[in-house]
Chain A
Amino acid sequence: MNRGSQAVVLVLLGGAILRASLTDVYLRYVKQGLRPFLIAAGVVLVVAAVVALVQELRHLNRPDDAGDGADDGHGHGRSGPAVGWLLLLPALALLFLVPPALGADTASRAGSALTDDRDVAYPPLPPREPAELTLLEYGYRAVYDDGRTLRGRQLQLTGFLAPGPDGHPMLARIVLSCCAADGVPIKVGLRGEVPALPADTWIRATGRWIPHTVKDPVNDADVPSFQVDTWERIAAPAEPYE
């Protein structure tokens, strides 16, 4: 792999990272806090590539001036930088395929996140009706606080649809701690006015807590239930994870 190809690969990689982090696409893969570091990394990659390209061009004009091109010449061990070609894969995937955020496939294969009893006092919900809750918050309040703060309230949950183990559809969302590789789904079983839409469709559901909990067959986690009164279909949010 010579200096010119290295530069092209790095321009593509840096450009792909910059494009993803200057739009909302990066939120499909990592948390928001990483954005400034992603932009900085993208800039460093592009600058390194541009410097190499400038040297390459200068070298074209004055072939006797070896510059640092000499470094690419003699023996790079057996495992040599040919492995650098692999960097094209993530770069091209990010530029052209733009893989979607994790969704129903992960939700059906991985166990739900509610495995750990959190020993906290749950404050009352804000007075606004309906009260908006994340799925995680709903799950903790429903399962480990016996729905104490949820009784008699109109609630609003947002997530995507995923097929449930017992035939009932679930509302799910993926919880990230760092990047999509550690994504864990949080699942809520749906009852009542359940939308008949394909998996991975995002909805905003309004309804009530019901005292009904089942076990996730994958990891024995608790899966609370939600009685849907109304729902509306929405576009996938820019920040798809909780």
Chain B
Amino acid sequence: MARVSPGGWLLRLGGYALLVLGGVLTIAPFYFMFVFATHQRSEIFGFPPPIWFGEHFLTNYQILIEKIPFWRAYWNNFYLALMTTITSLFFCSLAGFGFAMYQFRWREQLFAVVMATLLIPAILNLIPFYLLIYQIGWINTPKALWVPAMAGALGIFLMRQYIISAIPKELVDAARIDGCSEFQIYWRIVLPLIRPALGTLGLITFIGSWNRFADVNVIMRTQETKTLPVVLRTLQGATDVEWGAIMAGTALLVAPLLLVFALAARQLMEGLTSGAVKS
């Protein structure tokens, strides 16, 4: 910053101190998660609690795979996130393309409906959603979780915004004159051009699905079909809670998120705020 106002450097120093303090407070729980994952319960709750890594990660891991079908749950998590992401990328970009590049009757009203659904508090739909899934006999099947999430409103909104800003109408018209069908325009012209936005939407969807809990907890009724957050929850509240193992499982649940975030934090943050800023 070039502008220096009276006392500016003092303010700046205070600012740095504040940021460091806040950063430490933000990171600390993650740090303790990893540290506790390498200790046994008696150490975690002993005095003083561990502040550096121990040597019991493998012990904890053993407990984990013995008590719960850990890798099965991990796979379920991954499968749910993957299916949701792939289908969302397709249906959201298709709908976004539809809203962005066409003039058609009811377009504004239909888009308003899409946006309005974002305001419906999701958790309140938990019970009716469960009843529906029960009615159609999808309890305990993974499709009950990803099929309803194939075309989310947020994804459609993000795709529409990006397509409007990134794809000139003339390009679409030119393709049409060349004899492309409407779907071909989407598939051959639009899709390759919106790759960055697809990447962002993919990240958002993947992370969101990876973290799902409330509805999975209700729909999936056996250990074989549950996802990792739900299964980890079942370890808690036992008579002999293995907190070391729980922290190991939690660390393994969070690790992929941290990895993805480390690689694409900027993209993710820009994607998530782009809607907010423009609206």
Bound together: no
Interface residues of A (CB under 8 A from B): none
Interface residues of B (CB under 8 A from A): none
